[in-house]
Structure formats: C-alpha cells, structure tokens
Amino acid sequence: MSLFNVDLPKTLRERAEHSITQLRAAVSEYKNVCYANSLGSESMVLTDLIWEAVPEIEIFSIDTGRLYPETYDLIERVQQRYGRALRIYYPEAAEVEQWVGENGINGFRDGLEQRRGCCAMRKVGPFRRAIAGRGAWVTGIRRGQSASRALAAPVEWDREYGLHKVSPLLDWSETEIWDYIRKKRLPYNSLHDSGFPSIGCAPCTRAVQPGDDARSGRWWWERADSRECGLHPRRKIPAVAVAALGGAQR
Ligand code: SF4
C-alpha cells in the first residue's frame, strides 16, 4: 500500500512527502545511507517511507538480547508486510559473557556507570558495526520527544560516530505519527496499547501514566538528565532555551 494510494489528510501527505524528499537528498548527498530502526512508533512510519519510496536505504535493528517478546513479534510482522528482511545486529557474545560475569545478569541496575556499560556493550557496539563505512545514518527522533531533541537539526554532523545524521521526522507530532500508522494500517508494537509510549529493553522500560513524559518509562530509576542509551548523546540545553521549551530538560 503506497503513500499515494491511501487517502491521507493533506497536511499528513505533505509531511510524508517532505520526509521522503529529505531521505532522497541524503542518498544523493551521502550515497551509503542506513536507517537504525528502533522499532518504536516513529520507526514504523520511517520503515514505510523508506521501503515504499527510498528502498536503497538499508534498514537495520539491534537485538540487545533483552527485548520484549512483543518486539520480536513486531519484527516478524514488519517483515511479512513488506516481504523484506530487516538486518539484525547483535552484541558480541564474548563481550556479553564477560560483562555479565563481572556485573551480574541485571547489573545495569547497580549504577549509572554499569547501565551505560550495558548499553555500550549491547547497543552501541552493534551500532558501530552497523554504521561502519556509511556516509549517513537516519534516525526517527522528533523535537517533541525531549528538550534535548527539540534542538536537533534535520541534518547534522555526528561527531560521536563520524558520519552525518539525518532526522526526517523532526517536525512530526506524536498525533501525526499515529494518524499515519492508523491510516496506512501499519504494524506496531502491541505494548503501545498498554501505556508504553517508548519501548526499549524489557528490564529498562515500563508503562507510564497518561500525560506523563513519553520517555519517563525508560531507566526510570535514574535522574532524568541521564536517560539516553548513547546513540543520541544529550545536548547541553541553555537555561533560556529550556524556559522557551516549557520545562526542564527531559
Ligand atoms: Fe542493558 Fe538496559 Fe541498556 Fe538494554 S536498555 S542495553 S538491558 S542497560
């Protein structure tokens, strides 16, 4: 079901077309482009845009080994819908064995250093392998997700990983994401229907109450300003910008 044979509202169609234009420009400019699919709601939109309109972008996901069963089910449903396979990257077995041996099976709960160590081993390591040799990577971040993400640009040089970072959904609202998913009947993680706006590893994600910050269910035992996995390092937010954005850095 392509973008062009579904009755999308005009504003949503324009959003989608603009995102496709950004994706095509990235391919034209950086050639070897990949999309790091986090399997959240934004990812379902981006997967649809890419596989329908810009299929030369390779889509990959990272299986940390600690995902929810519902997330594995989603991977299957996505692949069945499009008749294509996501490339899945895994952590190095030897690194997992060593880390668990030194820190314990749930050692990421013991402190920020341990949690970041687990994310580095299970997420960042496979991510570095996935982007090696690429000209740009695509992300599904939106400005509305946090004060830090509100300051992102559609195309940025990612100093941490040494390639360009393209964010074609930056200006989409959460409502628009879900309108697109429903209009196009896209698959999505069933946990979203149970109070999970943002879904990561099972032991580090929980449901939130209606109206709560969308990312408050991730690493909820930590201070709010540390809750990123390492793929999107937090920006330092000037106080004046925090005020303009309507609250504390999330
Ligand atoms: Fe480890 Fe939790 Fe990070 Fe997953 S989210 S890699 S389980 S610390």
Q: How far is the CA of 198 from the centre of ligand 1 (A)?
A: 14
Tell me, using a 6 A CB cutoff, whether residue 201 lines ligand 1.
yes
**What average pLDDT does the segment 198-218 reach?**
89
Share of the chain above pLDDT 90, in %: 76
pLDDT at 183: 96
Radius of gyration of the chain (CA): 18
User: What pTM value is reported for the model?
Assistant: 0.88
Q: Is a pLDDT exceeding 80 seen at residue 233?
A: no
For 212, half-sphere exposure in the C-beta direction (CA atoms, 13 angstrom radius) is 15
**What average pLDDT does the segment 147-170 reach?**
93
Q: Is a pLDDT exceeding 60 seen at residue 128?
A: yes
**What average pLDDT does the segment 190-201 reach?**
94
pLDDT at 5: 62
User: pLDDT per residue over 29-40, tens digit each?
Assistant: 999 999 999 999
User: pLDDT per residue over 61-78, tens digit each?
Assistant: 999 999 999 999 999 999
Residue type, 169: L
Q: How far is the CA of 36 from the centre of ligand 1 (A)?
A: 17
Residue 229 among the catalytic residues: yes
Q: Is a pLDDT exceeding 60 seen at residue 153?
A: yes
Q: Give the model's confidence band at 250: pLDDT under 50 very low, under 70 low, under 90 confident, else very high.
A: very low
User: Residue 33: which H helix or E strand, with range?
Assistant: strand 33-36
Q: Give the model's confidence band at 4: pLDDT under 50 very low, under 70 low, under 90 confident, else very high.
A: low
User: pLDDT per residue over 106-124, tens digit each?
Assistant: 999 999 999 999 999 999 9
Strands 163-166 and 155-158, bridge-based pairing: antiparallel
Q: How far is the CA of 25 from the centre of ligand 1 (A)?
A: 33
Q: Is a pLDDT exceeding 80 seen at residue 214?
A: no
What b/e string do you get for 98-107 counting C-beta neighbours within 10 Å, with b at 16 or more?
A: ebeeebeeeb
pLDDT at 58: 97
pLDDT at 82: 97
Greater pLDDT, 27 or 247: 27
Closest approach atom of ligand 1 to CA 121: 6
